[in-house]
């Protein structure tokens, strides 16, 4: 039996005056899928993610997550989602443990200490629990941000550049943590990434955006085959540069 | 709208208490300015008491004024400066994608403003007893009403200033410091509203603080409690606080439309 859709986006758009940051985008993501939103700078990835989170109000279209209309009932969905991005920070002066405690309480996590201890072990961040967040390296911050995103064991996890600024070893470990988490929880992952090997390894669905519109969708292997390229890196370059146009999804 | 959650408000208040705890300098700074003001005005009172009939009748007039004024100033600053911390820390987007509702953010800001005001002004109030033999608590029960009204007015201004900064960016931060001082001459902290030119009277009476300071003078000079001043101040505060909350919530909503929440910061 097919998995139910947990994210349904229909004709979504965001306009800033004459600029169409997102322009009539429609897609569906089923439970347990890992979907990548890809595209060059300004393609509309972050805008789309911000609208999925309810942080940005759409100009038009519909977003339903876990059966709820996000712009109208985001408060019902947010406890079941989470988000991590290196471009959104946590308070610098608070220690890692304090930051995670505050967010655990905001998300209504029941056994805060046990949850923090488990995440500390899994993400190898317990050694700097007592250090101010601002004193951590970029890679350490990314791991703490991921811990924050996993606090409430979200059914839907949105990740913006999940392994940016991590060394290859740590990035590989993070990817393993994400796939383990997904396997255990059945969560749906949506990520924006510029790392194409990561996309090939993690994702079973890709949505390619260009100038606010979807220009191609499919599994990574399908896209590689359709574009006649050897990997996603080349497919990405083709689409981002508009050298070879993909199918336009209505 | 979903119900307001005490747990989420508590969680955010905890974040602000962690922040306060993280720096002893900040705690000292909270009490520093109210104490300096109290010491300065205490000496001025001592000097003027020998030259002024009014101050002879009520030596605590200036000190009460300066301490009550600090309640207003600290409550406004306690709310807006803590909100600016969220912008500086680029944490506002994180908060607004959590289940926290904007109204809960406002309540948590009010709670931490209360803590900061009590800490800051409380120390100056206690030090005034050994320094000048002046006890603000001698105002009696009306002090609770004065405190509440000044706190509410401070929150209303703090929310309006925070909304301005959210709308126009951190460049507008200096308004947080300037806004309340623009109102100070109209509030009649050290002199009755009647001292102001007649054309300024309507403006002065439109401020809750003017009613509080007139009420304070009535207690100290005439030994009477003017309930009418208290009720006027309360009524005005209900209006201003409602306006402050409404403008803040509308500005958050507008920021959602404009997409500025992801970029909020320095």
Give chain B's domain count. Answer: 1
> Collapsing DSSP states into helix, strand and coil, what is residue B126?
helix
Burial of B251 (0-12, 13-18, 19+ CB in 10 A): buried
pLDDT number for residue B48: 80
pLDDT number for residue B266: 41
Region A135-157: mean pLDDT is 93
Is pLDDT above 80 for A128? yes
Reported as a single tens digit per residue, the pLDDT across B134-176 is 899 999 999 999 999 999 999 999 999 999 999 988 878 887 7
B187 inside domain: yes
Residue B64 Cα distances to A54, B117, B182, angstroms: 48, 16, 20
Of the pLDDT bands very low, low, confident and very high (cuts 50, 70, 90), residue A10 is very high
Task: Tell me: ipTM over 0.90.
Answer: no
Query: A198 or B263: whose pLDDT is higher?
Result: A198
Measured over all CA atoms, what is the biggest interatomic distance in chain A, rounded to whole angstroms? 53
Residues of B in contact with A16 (CB under 8 A): 258-259
Would you say A106 and B11 are in contact if contact means Cβ atoms under 8 Å apart?
Answer: yes
pLDDT number for residue B36: 87
Tell me which residue of A200, A195, A199, A178 sits closest to A187, measured CA to CA.
Answer: A178
Tell me which residue of B20, B231, B201, B1 sits closest to B99, measured CA to CA.
Answer: B1
DSSP B219-257: HHHH----HHHHHHHHHHHHHHHHHHHHHHHHHHHHHHH
Region B187-200: mean pLDDT is 94
Verify whether the Cβ–Cβ distance B18 to A94 is below 8 Å.
Answer: yes
Reported as a single tens digit per residue, the pLDDT across B86-128 is 998 888 999 999 999 999 999 999 999 999 999 999 999 999 9
B266 inside domain: no
Nearest to B98 among A16, A98, A106 (CB): A106
For strands A5-16 and A19-30, give the pairing: antiparallel
Is pLDDT above 70 for B229? yes
B25 inside domain: yes
Q: Could you tell me which residues come within 8 angstroms of residue B82 by beta carbon, excluding any fewer than 6 positions away?
A: B16, B19, B109, B112, B113, B116
Verify whether the Cβ–Cβ distance B262 to A14 is below 8 Å.
Answer: no
pLDDT number for residue A171: 86
For the four alpha carbons of B97, B101, B102 and B104, in that order, the dihedral sign comes to: negative
pLDDT number for residue A246: 46
Reported as a single tens digit per residue, the pLDDT across B69-88 is 999 999 999 999 999 999 98
CATH number of A5-241, picked from 3.40.50.300, 3.20.20.70, 3.90.1640.30, 3.65.10.10: 3.40.50.300
Tell me which residue of A162, A155, A176 sits closest to A29, measured CA to CA.
Answer: A155
B69 inside domain: yes
Verify whether the Cβ–Cβ distance A91 to B15 is below 8 Å.
Answer: yes
Verify whether the Cβ–Cβ distance B262 to A46 is below 8 Å.
Answer: yes
Is pLDDT above 60 for A248? no
User: What is the span of the domain harbouring residue B38?
Assistant: 6-258
Region A228-247: mean pLDDT is 77
Quick one: what percent of chain A has pLDDT higher than 70? Answer: 96
Nearest to B99 among A21, A47, A78 (CB): A78
Nearest to B18 among A47, A76, A98 (CB): A98
Burial of B56 (0-12, 13-18, 19+ CB in 10 A): exposed
Is pLDDT above 80 for A191? yes
Please give the interface size between A and B, counted as residue pairs whose CB atoms are below 8 Å apart: 95
As a whole number of angstroms, the distance between CA B36 and CA B21 comes to: 23
d(CA A91, nearest CA chain B) in Å: 5
Residues of A in contact with B95 (CB under 8 A): 106
Query: B17 or B26: whose pLDDT is higher?
Result: B17
B58 inside domain: yes
Region A135-153: mean pLDDT is 92
In the 8-state DSSP scheme, what is residue B195? G
- Residue of B15, B249, B260 to mutate when probing chain A, most A C-beta within 10 A: B15
Tell me which residue of A246, A222, A186, A184 sits closest to A39, measured CA to CA.
Answer: A246
Residues from B in contact with A at Cβ < 8 Å: 1-2, 7-8, 10-12, 14-15, 18-19, 22-23, 85, 89-91, 93-101, 253, 256-259, 261-262
pLDDT number for residue A156: 97
Label residues B162-171 b or e (16+ Cβ within 10 Å = b): bbbbbbeeee
Confidence (pTM):
0.90
Region B257-262: mean pLDDT is 85
């Amino acid at each position: 039996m097919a998995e139910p859709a947990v994210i349904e986006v229909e004709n979504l758009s965001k306009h800033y005056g004459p600029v169409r940051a997102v322009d009539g985008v429609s897609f569906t993501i089923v439970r347990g899928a890992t979907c990548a939103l890809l595209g060059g700078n300004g393609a509309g990835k972050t805008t789309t993610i911000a609208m999925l989170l309810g942080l940005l109000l759409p100009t038009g279209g519909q977003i339903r997550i876990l059966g709820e209309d996000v712009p109208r009932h985001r408060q019902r969905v947010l406890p079941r989602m989470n988000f991590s991005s290196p471009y959104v920070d946590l308070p610098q002066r608070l220690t890692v443990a304090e930051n995670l405690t505050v967010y655990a309480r905001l998300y209504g996590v029941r056994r805060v200490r046990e949850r923090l201890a488990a995440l500390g072990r899994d993400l190898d961040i317990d050694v700097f629990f007592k250090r101010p967040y601002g004193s951590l390296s970029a890679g350490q911050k990314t791991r703490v941000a991921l811990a924050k995103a996993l606090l409430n064991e979200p059914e839907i996890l949105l990740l913006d550049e999940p392994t940016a600024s991590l060394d290859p070893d740590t990035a590989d470990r993070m990817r393993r943590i994400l796939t383990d988490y997904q396997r255990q929880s059945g969560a749906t992952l949506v990520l924006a990434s510029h790392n194409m090997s990561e996309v090939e390894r993690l994702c079973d669905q890709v949505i390619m955006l260009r100038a606010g519109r979807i220009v191609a969708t499919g599994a990574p292997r399908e896209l590689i085959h359709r574009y006649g390229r050897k990997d996603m890196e080349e497919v990405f370059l083709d689409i981002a540069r508009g050298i070879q146009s993909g199918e336009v999804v209505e | 709208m979903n119900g307001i959650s005490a747990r989420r408000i508590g969680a955010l208040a905890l974040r602000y208490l962690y922040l306060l705890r993280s720096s002893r300098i900040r705690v000292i700074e909270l009490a520093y300015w109210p104490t300096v003001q109290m010491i300065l005005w205490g000496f001025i009172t001592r000097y003027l008491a020998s030259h002024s009939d009014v101050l002879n009748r009520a030596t605590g007039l200036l000190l009460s004024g300066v301490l009550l004024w600090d309640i207003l100033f600290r409550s406004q600053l306690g709310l807006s400066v803590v909100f600016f911390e969220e912008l500086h820390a680029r944490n506002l987007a994180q908060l607004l994608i959590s289940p926290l509702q904007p109204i809960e953010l406002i309540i948590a800001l009010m709670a931490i403003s209360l803590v900061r005001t009590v800490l800051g002004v409380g120390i100056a109030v206690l030090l005034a007893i050994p320094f000048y033999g002046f006890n603000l608590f001698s105002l009696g029960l009306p002090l609770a009403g004065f405190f509440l009204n000044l706190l509410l007015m401070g929150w209303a201004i703090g929310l309006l200033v925070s909304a301005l900064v959210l709308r126009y960016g951190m460049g507008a931060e200096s308004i947080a410091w300037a806004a309340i001082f623009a109102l100070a001459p109209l509030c009649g902290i050290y002199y009755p509203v009647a001292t102001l030119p007649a054309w300024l009277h309507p403006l002065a009476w439109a401020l809750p603080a003017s009613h509080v300071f007139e009420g304070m003078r009535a207690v100290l000079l005439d030994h009477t409690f003017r309930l009418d001043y208290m009720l006027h101040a309360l009524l005005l505060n209900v209006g201003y606080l409602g306006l402050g909350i409404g403008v803040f919530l509308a500005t958050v909503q507008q920021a959602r439309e404009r997409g500025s929440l992801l970029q909020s910061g320095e």
